Structure 1
Amino acid sequence: MSAGKIRDLSRFVAVALAACGLVALLAGGAHAMEFHLQSVGYGAECRGHCPRVIVAQGQISNSTPEEFIEFLRENAGDRDLRTVVLINSQGGYVVASMELGQIFRRIGAATVVARQCLSACVYAFMGGVKRVAPRGTSLGIHRMFANTSDGGFESSPHRVYDDGSLAGALARYSARMGVSRDLIRFAERISSNSIHIVTSTQMAQWRLASRSF
């Protein structure tokens, strides 16, 4: 990514996060992930063609990657669209998150945490060619798990943990995205009942993100 493009993206993101209280607007995120475009700037200053960025909000489901591809198809003719994705998500499915991250990488998107990106969301976030977690936002990790039930009449969910195979796939994926495998090893040591908020030092150490462009 050229220095000029980074400066442009930095300006777009700064305005998008500040204008209209976008961070406050994205306070939710518990529903299935949805996508929409957010204009950056005002008509007079950009002569009716304000840059627009993608907002991704909600939990990542198995259908999310295909839904994002469809969203891109629907907006392919938008000449004002910039490949910047603002993410606000509490997590979701790990494999679908990796698939979404790979799509971000294929389209050359920069990924930016708009408020929070927790659990499996971090693996989608990894796909950005440039990754930013501005101060005041959170990246959170913990041990991955799946919910199942005992099949009873009033069945309750039970957590099933990875036998190491998915963690291995995640480690290989993170390496392809330019992120240290140590992040996966660390995450798998964090109880699934808690969340570890990644520090600025860890972001740099694991090559996960920076605080600014």
Structure 2
Amino acid sequence: MTNGEAFKATLVVIFSIVTAGASAEPMTFQPGGNDTRCRECAFIEASGEIVDDTPRVFERFLDSAPDYAPKRVRLNSPGGSLQAGIRLGELFRARGIATEVGSDRVDPEGRPDFGGRASLRTPGVCASACAYAFFGGVERVLDEGAKLGVHRFYSKNALAQPAEKIFTGRDLDDTQKIAAAIVLYLVNMGIDARVVALAATAGPDEVYWIDLEVARDLRVTYEPRAWKPWRLEPYHGGAIAMSETNDRTKRMVASCTRRLGPQVVLTNLDTSWDVAYWFAQCRTNIFGGGHPVFGTEVAPAHVQVTKRKEGGAFIRFRLPTTTPSLTSSALFSVGSSAYPSACMSDQYEGSRANFEPVVRLALTNCFQD
């Protein structure tokens, strides 16, 4: 057995005596969401206390679910076993599972995506050991109104007899190992280890609730597909406006060339599917008129699709004017009356942050091409 394996085996014993003191029904997993064309609409609802068997229960659920079941778990839990919470988070990461905080309610009007149950998202709470499970998500979303909380962990004996001197030198040694293991887990999950300091501010009957700003700052939340604010960059004597997703697989660039005029270029670097084919099909597959691009219509004749040798593709829209209304940053928007459902996507919603002033500057500061 290596030193690392021995260390991990020791922690299994230590963690087994550490708990958040939660008291609820054991966590269950069930289908949630609705059958629509957005990737986030369907999810797996996980509600209840995290107990020792929870990771195995989740594995059995995944193994029995259809291949098209969503890899997105929605957590609503008061906590439970720290060891099981960390094991569940590691399982989420190994299986490529995204996590979010919240509950749901059955939607009798909905269309189930899988498993015969359709539901709608409602606010929820993920605290204590649940937060550490949440940290394992490859994508981590904290909805408005959802509550994510951390605190110091205690043994049940200590909570029952807070004034008694019941700890030994070995207990203190174990406590340091627990703290080290938690920090190592956070680092491995890409979370800022300052979360431990926040947890230390909350006592046995308290919870530190992590707000959205702190969650973003400490990388508690991570949305790879979310679009960054627009920024202006100088280019060939002019300027271009650019926004990209956090994982840099998609990019929008608005610019104006002195020869061709204003244009918007959408790039998708995803190599897992034929992006160029989809762009090409949707270039002409519209319901009359043109493509709605940043508040103006672009005729299909002024749209060009190029496949990249490295994978992925880009689509170029030549705008008829340098002063579009800039009413929307979304391309191929879900719900757009211009497209059939097969050409709608939530991947290209873009960012509203800095959108209007930055794009307008780029479209009126043409560069030499």
> Which bracket does the TM-score occupy, shorter chain normalised?
0.7 to 0.9
Q: 1-side partners of 2:64 and 2:42: how far apart?
A: 14
The amino acid that maps onto 1:131 is R
Q: Which entry has the higher C-alpha Rg, 1 or 2? A: 2
1:30 — aligned with what? 24
Does the Cα contact within 8 Å between 1:84 and 1:109 map onto a contact in 2? Answer: yes
Unaligned runs of 5+ in 1: 1-28, 150-155
TM superposition shift of 1:39: 4.1
TM superposition shift of 1:189: 2.8
The amino acid that maps onto 1:101 is G
2:140 — aligned with what? 131
1:106 — aligned with what? 94
Q: 2-side partners of 1:180 and 1:89: how far apart?
A: 22
Q: 1-side partners of 2:52 and 2:177: how far apart?
A: 19
* RMSD after superposition: 2.6
TM superposition shift of 1:210: 5.5
1:142 — aligned with what? 151
Match of 2:175 among 163, 168, 172: 163
Shift in alpha-carbon separation, 1:158–1:61, aligned structure 2, 3 A: farther
Deviates more, 1:55-64 or 1:157-166: 157-166
1:187 to 2:193 alignment: no
Q: 2-side partners of 1:64 and 1:178: how far apart?
A: 23
1:87 to 2:70 alignment: no
TM superposition shift of 1:52: 4.0
TM (norm. structure 1) is 0.73
TM superposition shift of 1:61: 0.4
Residue 45 of structure 2: SS of its match in structure 1?
strand
Does the Cα contact within 8 Å between 2:142 and 2:212 map onto a contact in 1? Answer: no
The amino acid that maps onto 2:28 is E
TM (norm. structure 2) is 0.43
Q: 2-side partners of 1:186 and 1:39: how far apart?
A: 33
1:205 — aligned with what? 217
Amino-acid identity (%): 30
1 or 2 for the larger relative contact order (CA 8 Å, sep ≥6)? Answer: 1
Match of 2:48 among 26, 51, 58: 58
- Return the structure number with greater helix share: 1
Unaligned runs of 5+ in 2: 1-22, 103-123, 227-369
Q: What number of residue pairs does the alignment pair up?
A: 171
Q: 2-side partners of 1:141 and 1:124: how far apart?
A: 12
